[in-house]
Amino acid sequence: MVGKAIYNILKTHISDLATGGIYPVVMPQRSTNLSDKPAVIYNIISNYETSKNSEPDIAKAIVEFRVVSKTYKETDDVSKSIRYLLDNYRDQTYEGMDDIRGYVDSKGSKHNLISNVDIAEIFYQDQEDDYIDELFLYSRSLVYHVYYYDNINKFCFNYKDTTNPLVLSLKVDASIEQDSGGDFKSALMRDAGGERCSDEETVSKWYNTLGSFYAKDTPTATATLYNNYLTGGGTPKYYSTVLVDLKPRIFFNGTDIMSVNNNTKPIDLSSGALLIYVYKPWTSGGYNFLSGDYSSGIYNPSMCLSHRLDGVNVDIEFNPRGEFSTFSSETITLASGQSADMWTGDEHFLALSIGGNKAQTGGSYNQSGWYEYFNSNNTTKLTTGQILENNSFTGNSVTYSNSCNFATIGGYNGGTGSAGFAIYEFLLFVPESITTHGIDADAAPFQPTDIIYKKAKDYILNKYKALK
């Protein structure tokens, strides 16, 4: 991860290296790049430093660059460019290397999001000159210490045209500066004019901290590159100010949505998925679509997930195929209870793990799965065994193909939309292929694995203390 980020930093900012000449560990024997420009060879050693901050632990990478060239001047020029670029590095390009400019959050922690890595600091350590007699090349070694966040984004792997298992990592609690009123502007959101959102502004774009990613929109499609942001529809509002114990959040009501890939295509979940929401259900009386559809005319059959309060009764409902009434036979009530247990907390956690379509798994049911739910007023949690024993569901046996996809946070729902809820953070894991983890095809699977789920849950609990 760090190697790819460093590679992209150098390739983007140093013109002498823009067309090649950066190699991990060793340079190819017959490289042609030395004929007209210098080259950089780098290697990385990583270890961990324990953090006492509320952020996850910091990882430390020792990065050694070796600049080689046919002249001392070229070696010196490129080395100085690296020094100028990396010393106390900040991604201050206008739009950022991944469309998110480097920022300092409300706690004073520094962030630079590049190639799925969130870099905190880069410090110069040492350098040494050399001359390689047998190759007639000048050389300079530069040593840096790179500190980066060991957070949930480490579960995102990009290889060629594949991104898995983590494809969306969306959070609200990021800030870049204070405006004249003392409110923090969001580093991860844009308003309609393309500026960073201030308090109570409508969100036009919500950036994925992983950047762009590859996904499919149907089971048989070829993976394509999706936008690195969700697009706002309606008037989802960003709130940066703290209200009682509430963290920065986006508030949805009515037909407010944030949709993937400019509403052009959803993310196919026919091989299964793990979805994790940290949120607060706010307004009673109707559905609150944590996920739904984005159609304003023709119905779009995307998965729906709602948390609603009707009187004193609370229901969390899931439909893998679409809206609850249209596909009522496939609606699953995950949890029911009273408002004191399932509504009044300021922070709510909901994890939903679903298997694939039976057409893909070879089983008899679609979207067999499990869930885990708790909130800051009812913090009872389950072990993996208890989850499978108490919170599993069978799914449905309907024959369909292009169903169960993720399209939005929020939902259109025939024009009714949501009663009102706030979201703090959302994670979407999509496995690369169907897997039963050694269990039959219709068993409720841990997506992608029980280990990754535990790590994701620990990450959330470490960050949202009230949920502990």
> Which pLDDT value is given to residue 409?
97
Give the model's confidence band at 351: pLDDT under 50 very low, under 70 low, under 90 confident, else very high: very high
> Which pLDDT value is given to residue 36?
45
For the segment 340-356, the average pLDDT, to the nearest whole number, is 94
Two tokens at 250? Answer: 């986006």
Type of residue numbered 388: L
| CATH assignment at residue 20 | 3.30.2000.40
Is pLDDT larger for residue 5 or for residue 341?
A: 341
Q: Which of 10-14, 84-88, 335-339 has the highest mean pLDDT?
A: 335-339
Instruction: Report how many helices (DSSP H) and strands (DSSP E) the chain contains, helices first.
Output: 6, 32
**Exposure of 212 in the CB half-sphere (CA atoms within 13 A):** 14
The answer to whether residue 125 scores a pLDDT higher than 50 is yes
Whether 111 and 223 map to the same domain: the answer is no
Instruction: Give the list of residues 6+ apart from residue 441 with CB closer than 8 angstroms, or none.
Output: 355, 358, 361, 362, 363, 364
Whether 131 and 241 map to the same domain: the answer is no
Residue (of 292, 436, 450) closest to 365 by Cα position: 436
Two tokens at 449? Answer: 């694995």
φ/ψ of residue 63, rounded to 5: -115, 125
| CATH assignment at residue 416 | 2.60.120.200
Whether 108 and 244 map to the same domain: the answer is no
For the segment 183-210, the average pLDDT, to the nearest whole number, is 90
Whether 104 and 227 map to the same domain: the answer is no
Q: pTM of the prediction?
A: 0.89
The label of the residue with tokens 């009522």 reads: 328
Whether 442 and 320 map to the same domain: the answer is yes
Is pLDDT larger for residue 80 or for residue 96?
A: 80
State the chain's mean pLDDT as an integer: 85
Quote the domain boundaries for residue 247: 152-467
pLDDT digits (tens, 9 = 90+) for 197-228: 988 999 999 999 888 899 999 888 999 999 99
Residue (of 140, 7, 144, 12) closest to 76 by Cα position: 140
The answer to whether residue 117 scores a pLDDT higher than 80 is yes
Rounded (5°) CA angle 315-319-320 = 150
Two tokens at 444? Answer: 């409720």
pLDDT digits (tens, 9 = 90+) for 256-315: 999 999 888 899 998 899 999 999 999 999 999 999 988 654 445 789 999 999 988 999
Domain count, the chain: 2
Whether 125 and 10 map to the same domain: the answer is yes
Domain-ending residue, one of 149, 166, 201: 149
Domain-ending residue, one of 149, 179, 212: 149
Give the model's confidence band at 105: pLDDT under 50 very low, under 70 low, under 90 confident, else very high: confident
Two tokens at 171? Answer: 């959070």
> Which pLDDT value is given to residue 227?
92
Is pLDDT larger for residue 173 or for residue 18?
A: 173
The answer to whether residue 162 scores a pLDDT higher than 90 is no
Percentage of the chain lying above the pLDDT 90 cut? 44
Whether 52 and 102 map to the same domain: the answer is yes
CA gap 345, 245 in Å, rounded: 10
> Which pLDDT value is given to residue 466?
92
> Which pLDDT value is given to residue 32?
47
The answer to whether residue 76 scores a pLDDT higher than 60 is yes
CA gap 23, 50 in Å, rounded: 30
Whether 198 and 218 map to the same domain: the answer is yes
Q: CB of 146 within 8 A of CB of 60?
A: yes
Whether 136 and 161 map to the same domain: the answer is no
For the segment 150-179, the average pLDDT, to the nearest whole number, is 85
Please give the torsion angle defined by the CA atoms of residues 194, 198, 202 and 204, in that order, rounded to the nearest 10 degrees. 30
Percentage of the chain lying above the pLDDT 70 cut? 88
pLDDT digits (tens, 9 = 90+) for 18-73: 655 777 765 555 454 444 457 888 888 776 666 565 555 788 889 999 998 888 99
Whether 181 and 93 map to the same domain: the answer is no
Residue (of 451, 454, 435) closest to 443 by Cα position: 435
Residue (of 182, 213, 200, 285) closest to 239 by Cα position: 200
Task: Enumerate the β-bridge partners of residue 318.
Answer: 305, 332
> Which pLDDT value is given to residue 419?
96
pLDDT digits (tens, 9 = 90+) for 131-140: 988 878 899 9
Give the model's confidence band at 331: pLDDT under 50 very low, under 70 low, under 90 confident, else very high: very high
Whether 372 and 441 map to the same domain: the answer is yes
Domain-ending residue, one of 149, 169, 198: 149
The label of the residue with tokens 């009501």 reads: 253
Q: Could you tell me the CA-to-CA distances from 446 to 10, 159, 274, 343 in Å, in that order?
A: 39, 23, 8, 26
pLDDT digits (tens, 9 = 90+) for 426-442: 999 998 877 665 667 78
Whether 226 and 340 map to the same domain: the answer is yes
